[in-house]
Structure 1
């Protein structure tokens, strides 16, 4: 993939490696447009994100790297923002960045993608869990605060699959994403998880294509060696769904790139 907009740094407390190491790996992989989107600060679940006092350090570090590597690769600055309505903060939402990724990692403050809390899946109806998740995605899209939807069907991470048709469960969320003119990322992190496939599934990606929802690509790397993994698989997947171009963002404005 030549575009890769979702990657992390060690500042989030659960990633490894230096910014330069991520970029050097991206260059080796032939990536031309590479973005950092650190877990944005919020006054909840602080263990897995940067603090508000670290925003300046993070932003300056990425911009310094952008200048350093400008002859070899284009570097972008973003944040991955958890959509938890009570914890959204204007310091993040108004940050001077290229894009904001809106992600849902919590259902009613339950961190459903954290192995520490996997037991909660046994306490609720699986269809209701999936419906609550996509209701949150729909609400996030309707907020019009973000540019990219992070890992659209992250709820499948531990392979607890619903009985109902997933495309139907996700239908209203996809319509809201289209209405908000957001893009969705094809995120390879799912290959590293129990579900063993990209986010979103090919089936959901085809539904997105029917609605002419734009796509971008994401390693979601938390280690330099994860940059660019499974590139061929996700490119083939995108083409299978009917895509031949993806998007990048400069200062919150969408641009299309052929791949």
Structure 2
């Protein structure tokens, strides 16, 4: 089973569970490695109500060490952060990168200007929005994040579809410029299984995007985005089948911000999901 590098802790204020419970779930699932990657602090503080604050970073480091101590030699535990790509954030991301011996950093786009568009609190704003314009804004922002080169993994590529607001027509017009930027960056993307449990009822990214990513030679990780121990490696069998149907035969591993690969073996008949 592939590694699961996208998981959270209670420090983000919308997850639950102790690190030992996450490790136990990871071991039970049979994944090859477990990674912690909670929402990184963002400036100026208080930034929002769904991330740790800068003063809590030492506690986050202690949670990572607790997970490693509990895991012992049973499973590798990797240290990461999920960092928001925000205007002018480059210096702050570089600062965070030097705070700990990270194995990887995940870059994510949750904000368009002052709108955390995937936050259910602001769902009503979608009804007043030009969906086509928002998608253009999102994908241009995502491409800039990729071009920055600051991150090892680019998170949930089409998160913008979370509440199932999609423009009409062929969405490849949005995907293709972003795919080009990601491929040029040499960074990996994640196949994030959490989308199957959101209103869009589809993994992040879509099968169409994932196929284009494979054709462009973009490396892949599979992630649960777990916010509770019971969600670690959730739907990985389904994700492996989808990845295989899109052409992927390996997934990426990370240690000390260096990338390697492991084979991705199909667990079920190769049938694409619609």
Question: What is the TM-score with the length of structure 1 in the denominator?
Answer: 0.96
SS of the equivalent of 2:209 reads helix
Q: What does residue 107 of structure 1 align with?
A: 112
Moved more, 189-198 or 117-126: 117-126
Q: What does residue 87 of structure 2 align with?
A: 85
Q: What does residue 172 of structure 1 align with?
A: 177
| In structure 2, C-alpha distance between the alignment counterparts of 1:132 and 1:152, rounded to whole Å | 14
| In structure 2, C-alpha distance between the alignment counterparts of 1:20 and 1:254, rounded to whole Å | 26
| Offset at residue 47 of structure 1 (A) | 1.2
Q: What is the CA RMSD across the aligned residues, in angstroms?
A: 1.3
1:61 to 2:63 alignment: yes
Q: What does residue 138 of structure 2 align with?
A: 133
- Equivalent pair of 2:3/2:32 in contact (CA under 8 Å): yes
1:8 to 2:16 alignment: no
SS of the equivalent of 2:49 reads helix
Structure 1's unaligned 5+ residue stretches are: none
- Equivalent pair of 2:20/2:66 in contact (CA under 8 Å): no
Q: Deviations over 1:6-26 (max 9, x none)?
A: 000111111001011111011
| Offset at residue 255 of structure 1 (A) | 0.7
- Equivalent pair of 1:2/1:33 in contact (CA under 8 Å): yes
Relative contact order: is structure 1 or structure 2 higher (C-alpha 8 Å, sep ≥ 6)? 1
- Equivalent pair of 1:246/1:256 in contact (CA under 8 Å): yes
Q: How many pairs align?
A: 259
| Offset at residue 87 of structure 1 (A) | 4.1
- Equivalent pair of 2:2/2:251 in contact (CA under 8 Å): no
Change (3 A) 1:258 1:70: farther
Q: Deviations over 1:205-248 (max 9, x none)?
A: 00000101000011100011111211111000010011110001
Q: In the TM superposition, what are the counterparts of 1:31-70 in structure 2 within 5 Å?
A: 31-43=31-43, 45-70=47-72
- Equivalent pair of 1:63/1:77 in contact (CA under 8 Å): no
| In structure 2, C-alpha distance between the alignment counterparts of 1:2 and 1:208, rounded to whole Å | 18
Q: Deviations over 1:42-68 (max 9, x none)?
A: 125331111111112212321342243
Q: What does residue 207 of structure 1 align with?
A: 212
Of 230, 234, 240, which aligns to 2:245?
Answer: 240
| Offset at residue 75 of structure 1 (A) | 0.6
